[in-house]
Every structure is written in C-alpha cells, then in structure tokens.
Structure 1
C-alpha cells in the first residue's frame, strides 16, 4: 500500500485538531517586537508522552525540567517561551525553569509533574521572570481548541523564522479516525542530533508509552536528524509528543494491524516539519534535497547525505546557480564512510553531470535555469557499494545568513 493511502493530510489542521488539546500564546515582553513570545499546550487529561533532546553537552535548564517531568511517561501541559533560551544560566536558570513549571501548573490547573518547559532564543541571558510569570497568569484566557489558539501558539515559538511550521494528518486505526499533528520552530543553529530545534506533536491516539517513544526516535532519525542549515546543534533542541488517547481506538502497539499506517502518518508529520525548517533556513532561497543510494548501509548513506547537504561549498554553489559537481563529489569523499571512488554517479534534478566518477557533458544553460528557477534543488548520488539509502534536507547559503547572525543579539 502506498504511503498516500495510509493517511490523509488535513489542510488547515493544527496541534489543536486532535481531540483533547487546547493551545494559545501571547506577548509577555521578552521580545523587543510585539510578536508573541509565550505559549502553552494543554490536554484535557494526562497524556502519554515522549521526548527526544539535543545531544549538545551544554543543555539548557528547561531540558532538565522536562526530563524530570517525563519520568512517569505522562504530561498534561507544555509551556514555551521564545526570545531567551535560558541556556548557560547556571543555578538561577534552573530555578527560573522550575518556576515556569510551577506557575503553569497553577494557572492551568494541572499537576506540576505533568508540565514540560521549553525555551528558545539568546543563550547566556537570564529570563525576565516578572514578565514571564505575569504572562503565564494570562495564558488560561488565551487557550482554546480552535485554529486561533494553534495560530497564537505557532507564532509565539518563532525566533528568526519567517514562517510557522505546521502539519496535521488523519489515519484509520481499527476503523476509528485518529489524528496526528505538529508545530515546530527552527531557522538557524540547525544541525539536530536526536531532536529538532523545538517541536511539539499531539495525537488523540491511544498508544503504549514505550512504543510511542520508540516511534518518536525512529521517525526523528529519518526526518529531523536528516536536516541541516548551518551545522550547529543547539543547546535547546527538544521534540515532545503528547497522546491524549481520546480518539477511542484500541491501544496501539507494534503488533496492532494498523501500526504501519499510524507510523507512516506520524513520520509524515515529522518529515513535513523538518523540511519546513530546512526550507526556512536563515536567509535561504532554496530547499536542497540530497538523495543517496547504493551505500554500504543506511547509516553510511545518511552520513554522506548530511555531509553533502551541509557542505558550505555545495550550499554556496546552489545559491550561485553554479552546477559545480566537483564540490558534491568532494563532500561524498570526506563523509568518513567507505565509497568506491570509480563508481559514483551524480544528477542535479534530471541532469546527469557525473557517470562512473567521470564528467558527463551537459547543457550549462539548462543547469543554470534549473538551479535558478526551482524552489527545491534535488541532488542525487548513486553509489555501487551496497543497498544503503538515505535522504537529507538543507538549504542554500546566502549573504543574508551572515547578516542575520552577525547581529543576532543586537
């Protein structure tokens, strides 16, 4: 069965579409602009929950709090702020993150242990807790199960992002419609390792907790862990999933006959959000997709794909519409995995530029037109070393990336 038949994408769906969820956001004063900078998701009932986190050694205070909250495998609310990462802020940063958890629990009427905390923004600055705590007291009146609540939430988690990232799908589980949805933020400092920048997923499926965590990890490895913008892994990367169980389906596990369909739907949401993050890379004008086949195994293919899509020279060539396949094969060769050097084939879109590691004459004008006019540049690399395959996503490297990050704090 094709993936398209396993689930249906819901246009206009959001993180509040699954049964039992409300969301909302507001401006509390952390950002210099009037854009929303504080938000929350709340579930009617304690939800089965799972999360993955950055592997950066320097982990922000909210991650410690969220890990502690998830010890029992349930959550009922998530509070998130943008404009300040609360990272590398020492003991006071941890005190502030716990204070956010306590205040949110009181405001939303849930157990403190069932609240996760997430933050994103500038590293090394203490939160303005008077503004944060004041904003949390106002959150309950902003929470709703409609599209407006999801919109306010999605806007509140953005930093340098130009657009919000959302996806929602429906899938049949035992004849019952189950929905899976997600919202994410990320534009710069993107090279996830076990998580994305900040991602939040909701579903009304009833699902075993261990299987939810396993599915989250598996989906992350082929989606969020396969994107890069600038090669930097954040201190705050976190992806949290809540499952309300209110759809009324028989509890899902790996032996359930509809597990494949649910897993496909779940992974699609992750991939959609991950690609949206790559497409919205700081200063980016193109989404770049690198497809690798014929590697010794899937892990090798993944390493090559991420090396190619993360190469500053490849990214610069895409921005300059330069069909410089030499930069691509050089990246393949430095990925740190075995490759037969005499049997590499490369295409830019449908244009073959290398066959058996030798140049193929191609129409430079056609290549120029492809690189200039297409929104998504596809680089295909076929090797001859095995059955391994992988796809990675990134973006081009532009002048604006430097401009944005040269003045990030000011």
Structure 2
C-alpha cells in the first residue's frame, strides 16, 4: 500500500559512475540484495549520517573511510543492518570492504559500506564476499533502476529521481535513489539515499550541498518518529561530464542547487508515500513561528501524534486531535486566540475555538483525499517550516509485528 503512482523515472546515466547488482541471499535466496557503485578516479563524495548514538558498524566505517581516503566504491547490502553487533560487526564490515578493495585493486579506505535490515544479527560475510565478483561483473552505467530495487527492505516499490541541466553549454545529469518505509524520523531515518551528478563540485561546496539539501528534505520527513541506526544520504560528484568545476562563487551553483533540491525532495517524498501501510501523504506547514525550532516542534508534534495519524487513516476530520497536539508542542506563551489551523483550505480553529464557518462536511471532504495539507499559523513571527508524514493504518502494525518472520 502506498500513495501516488510511484513510477520510476527514465534515469540519466552519470558519466564516471557504474552500478553492479548481485544476489547474496542475505535474507531471501535469489533476491538481488547487493549493490556496488563504482566511481571514477577523482570523484568526490559528501554525505550525512544517522545521529543515533547506537549507529551501526557500516556507519562508523563509512565515516572513517570518507575522512581518510578517496572513495571509489560504495558497497550496499540489504537484509542485515550490522547494527548492535559490537566489535564483530566492525570486523565484518571491514572484511567486506577489504575483499571488495582486493577484487577492485583499490585501498581499503576507498570502499564505503552501507547496510540496512534487521538489527542485532551478525553480518553474513561469506555470502556477501561470494557475491562480490558477480556484482563487479554486472557493472553498467544504466543500473539505477535495478539498484533502486536492490536496496529495498520493507519498501513496496523502488524510489528514484533524475534531472538534466545545462552548465556552460554542457549537458550534465543528476540521478538518485532512496529506500525507506518505516523507522523514519531523521536525524536521519532507516533510509539510504544515493544521489550522483557528473558535474565537478569543489569539496567544500559538495558537503555544504549534502548537508543543506539533506536537512530540508530527508530531515523533514517522518513515518513513525523512530530514528534508526544505519542511515546515510550520500552526494557524489564524478566530475566526468566535462563541465567546469563549481566552486563557492560559481554562477552555475544556483542552478545546480535547484536541480539537486528537486531530486532530494522527490526522493524524500517517495519514502513518505511508501510509508509502511500508508494511505495518505500529509504535508504539515507551520507558519508565523518566532523561531525555526518552535515551528519544527509544532510540526513534528502533530506529525507524531498517533491520534492524529489514525484519524487521517480513518478520514475522520477530528480536528480536536490536531488542536491538542499543537497545544502540547511546548511553545511558550502561545496566544491561542491568535493562531489559526487549517485542513486544506478549510479553517478548523480561529479565535481559540472552532472556526465559525467550519462544517463537518467541509472537513470530511478534505480528509477523504489521498493528499492532505495541515496548515498551522501561530501568528507570532515570520518563520515557516514544512514536514511531511503519513497516516497510521492496520498494515503498519502488521508489517512491524511480522518484520522478522
């Protein structure tokens, strides 16, 4: 169950990047569950990782290798998170990286590992190592669609986005994939994201873009309020397009940022649309806040309310649940008579109570839609923030109750 069509785009190939997919049989025999990205020499990589203090072994190792070396390969497995596995987990992640490095003839630090799946189980190193030659043999510049499927866990559909633009008369490309459907409340979430462009981007600009765009997309979505142990979103710039390098003062930076922002947001929204058991895609807009944090506090309090989320699933315009969530968001000295709450274009709350022109029929009409916007105007400043979430259905409970079976 998911919201919207969810069709993959026609991915633009990224010059200087190839993708190989193989079956290691980590959780299910025959499933394509191992993905390897090969980056041209000189490629640059930046990214953001989970802020969960119990972060997984691959997160520790990817951070270390990213700081130490020049990444040439990204090694991604599904079916096993290699989290909560202690020293053995670190050794297992390092061994998989070393074996890929040996196969490809690159230093250990040139391999960045990423894992997603069940927490607390030892990584099946032998299965992964055995499948590495198959992944390398399958290298193809047009492997994005297969990779989007290969990194899925409880996802019901693959997620991808792609754009092309002109820089200094040269056509350049951006393509990306993401995975995630539950345990989503970044910073980050149980998600992986890989976005690549064949533009050359200065290292400091690349990291700024990775942080800034990730914060406004993947770090503005939530399915259930849980932050996972394995999450990462990587931004790759191969520089193989032939277009001039984009530095801090480049006149082409705004165009690149805008195109990347579209890809980041599309991939983040795809995760919410495919939230475990989701039937509604919900935008929560908070305007008129005095500070960014209070806007986010209000948005996330509404987004995480089980009562709001179950009302959304039932298409029940129970606006009192939204009002109650706003009231407990912790905003100091909130003027209840000034704020307004809208469901779509229908005003629910005004002057401290139900809006005079509100009717149940109008609220019901909005709640019956597949895509809904909840707008909260605090009327105490000029700060605006937006968070995207979904409803809670019976299927969410079933999926998570049976996750390991």
Tell me the TM-score normalized by structure 1: 0.92
Deviates more, 1:23-32 or 1:117-126: 23-32
Report the CA distance between 1:341 and its aligned residue: 2.1
1:3-402, aligned counterparts within 5 Å? 12-14=9-11, 17-32=13-28, 34-72=30-68, 74-146=70-142, 149-194=143-188, 197-338=191-332, 339-360=334-355, 361-372=357-368, 374-402=369-397
In 1, are the aligned partners of 2:69 and 2:109 still within 8 Å (CA)? no
The answer on whether the counterparts of 1:227 and 1:306 sit within 8 Å (CA) in structure 2 is no
Go from structure 1 to structure 2 and tell me whether the alpha carbon gap of 1:295 and 1:403 turns closer, same or farther (over 3 Å shift): same
- Tell me if structure 1 keeps the 8 A contact 2:49–2:232: yes
C-alpha contact 1:49 1:73 (8 A) present in aligned 2:
no
User: How far did 1:72 drift?
Assistant: 4.3
1:257 and 1:298 map into 2 onto residues whose CA distance is 29
Alignment check: 8 A CA contact 1:195 1:220 kept: no
What SS class does the counterpart of residue 64 from structure 2 fall into?
A: helix
CA contact (8 A) 1:195 1:239 kept: no
- What is the distance in 1 between the residues matched to 2:219 and 2:325? 18
Deviation at 1:196, TM superposition (A): 6.2
Q: Over residues 27-77 of structure 1, what are the superposed CA-to-partner deviations in whole Å (9 max), with x where a residue is unaligned?
A: 211122533211111122231111111111101000111111111463121
1:256 shift after superposition: 1.1
- Equivalent residues of 1:204, 1:246 under 8 A apart: yes
| Contact 2:189 2:228 (C-alpha < 8 Å) held by counterparts | no
Aligned equivalents of 2:84, 2:364: Cα separation in 1: 45
Q: 1:299 to 1:259 in 2, by over 3 A?
A: farther
Cα distance, 1:177 vs. partner? 2.4
Distance in 2 (alpha carbons) for counterparts of 1:298 and 1:252: 30
Give the C-alpha shift of residue 342 in structure 1: 1.8
CA distance in 1, matches of 2:181, 2:295: 25
| Number of residue-to-residue matches in the alignment | 397
Ranges in structure 2 where 5+ consecutive residues have no aligned partner? 1-7
Aligned-partner Cα distance in 2 for 1:128–1:196: 20
Cα distance in 2, alignment partners of residues 24 and 79 from structure 1: 10
Mapped partners of 2:395, 2:115: distance in 1: 25
Partner Cα separation in structure 2 for residue 270 and residue 299 of structure 1 = 22
Q: 2:190–2:229: 8 Å Cα contact kept in structure 1? A: no
SS, match of residue 372 in structure 2: strand
CA distance in 2, matches of 1:337, 1:170: 43
- Report what 1:6 is aligned to: none
Paired residues of 1:308 and 1:331 also in contact (CA < 8 A): yes
Q: Report the secondary structure of 2:77's partner residue.
A: strand
User: Does the aligned pair in 2 maintain the 1:52–1:195 contact within 8 Å?
Assistant: no
* C-alpha distance 256-337 of structure 1, shift in aligned 2 (>3 A): farther
CA drift at 1:98: 0.6
Conserved? CA contact 2:77–2:114, under 8 Å: yes
Supply the RMSD in Å over aligned alpha carbons. 1.8
Aligned to 2:4: none
Distance 2:13 2:298 in 1: 37
Secondary structure at 1:75's aligned position in 2? Answer: coil
8 A Cα contact 1:75 1:242, kept in partner:
no
Please state how far the C-alpha of 1:277 moved relative to its aligned partner: 0.5
